């Protein structure tokens, strides 16, 4: 059954930039009420100002349950919540052997505990009403690991497993759970990352379109681009030697070895600035 976006109340985390911003703008144009949570609420407020009174931005640190409570209080007038889009995430790159311990913990705090905290804060009311939708933005590397992003990949594998278990847990309550798995997206997170062989670059708008689509018609898992899901499942069912051949043909495992450090410098510095 296709659902309407108009009149739906949605929370989008990490909504000031990239995929989050594109999603907020797309859902607002479709008539949804949208609460934008971000560590930089001023940046979020700049672009939401022109989206109408049913779009609000507020500070949110997804790693902190108390911040979730404060955020929900500040945007309560837009609720009750029909959809939670857990989009906030960080993607520092480099060898795990050189990764600072605090950064390792931060990746899991934001990418794994962030969605869990949000679900614990928002989903109980959905269960009480017998309806709702959790949309977790993971990554293709939550299914296909890539060197030089081992901790990031592990965090997205965790989101995939958590989402699949949660979907079974909440289904009897009428709450849907969907996974969005994008390939490399042209946002600040992927600055300096070369495009994969034979793959058209994925934009934030492409992912936002997929999020809108899955809200309208809930599905357990959506890849961006969609054809990557079938290719991945077919490849992973083959012998390891065939998988290695495909990897060499696409150069997937070496994708991050060609990262341009200078192009990523601003993003990497900003991520580390917020590490405690």
pLDDT digits 0-9 by tens, 60-106: 999 999 999 999 999 999 999 999 999 999 999 999 999 999 999 99
Give the 3-state secondary structure of the chain: CCCCCCCCEEEEECCCCHHHHHHHHHHHHCCCEEEEEECCHHHHHHHHHHHCCCEEEEECCCCCHHHHHHHHHHCHHHCCCCEEEECCCCCCCCCHHHCCHHHHHHHHHHHHHHHHHHHHHHHHHHHHHCCEEEEEECCHHHCCCCCCCHHHHHHHHHHHHHHHHHHHHHHHHCEEEEEEEECCECCHHHCCCCCCCCCCCECHHHHHHHHHHHHHCCCCEEEECCHHHHHHHHHHCCCHHHHHHHHHHHCHHHHHHHCCHHHHHHHHHHHHHCCC
Ranked by mean pLDDT, which of 22-26, 239-243, 254-258 comes out on top? 22-26
Q: What is the mean pLDDT of the chain?
A: 90
CATH number of the domain at 9-275, please?
A: 3.40.50.720
Does residue 230 have a pLDDT over 60?
no
Which comes out higher in pLDDT, residue 40 or 245? Answer: 40
**Lowest mean pLDDT, pick from 87-96, 166-175, 185-194, 243-252:** 243-252
pLDDT tens digits, 40-65: 999 999 999 999 999 999 999 999 99
* Of 24-28, 239-243, 248-252, the least confident: 248-252
Active-site residues, by number, are 152
């Amino acid at each position: 059954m296709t659902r309407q976006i108009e009149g739906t109340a949605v929370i989008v985390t990490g909504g000031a930039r990239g995929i989050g911003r594109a999603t907020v703008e797309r859902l607002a144009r479709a008539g949804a009420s949208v609460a934008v949570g971000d560590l930089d609420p001023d940046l979020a407020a700049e672009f939401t100002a022109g989206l109408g009174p049913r779009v609000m931005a507020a500070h949110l640190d997804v790693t902190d349950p108390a911040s979730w409570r404060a955020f929900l209080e500040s945007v309560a007038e837009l609720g009750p919540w029909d959809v939670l889009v857990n989009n906030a995430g960080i993607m520092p790159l480099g060898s795990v052997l050189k990764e600072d311990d605090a950064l390792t913990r931060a990746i899991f705090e934001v990418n794994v505990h962030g969605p869990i905290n949000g679900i614990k804060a928002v989903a109980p009311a959905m269960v009480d009403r017998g309806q709702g939708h959790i949309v977790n933005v993971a990554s293709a590397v939550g299914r296909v690991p890539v060197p030089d992003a081992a901790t990031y990949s592990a965090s997205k594998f965790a989101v995939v497993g958590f989402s699949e278990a949660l979907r079974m847990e909440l289904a009897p309550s009428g709450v849907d759970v969907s996974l969005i798995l994008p390939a490399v997206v042209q946002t600040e997170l992927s600055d300096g990352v070369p495009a994969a062989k034979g793959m058209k670059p994925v934009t934030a708008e492409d992912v936002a379109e997929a999020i809108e689509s899955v809200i309208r018609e809930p599905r357990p898992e959506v890849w961006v681009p969609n054809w990557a899901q079938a290719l991945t499942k077919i490849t992973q069912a083959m012998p390891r030697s065939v998988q290695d051949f495909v990897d060499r043909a696409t150069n997937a495992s070496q994708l991050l070895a060609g990262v341009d450090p200078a192009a990523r410098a601003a993003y990497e510095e900003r991520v580390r600035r917020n590490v405690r």
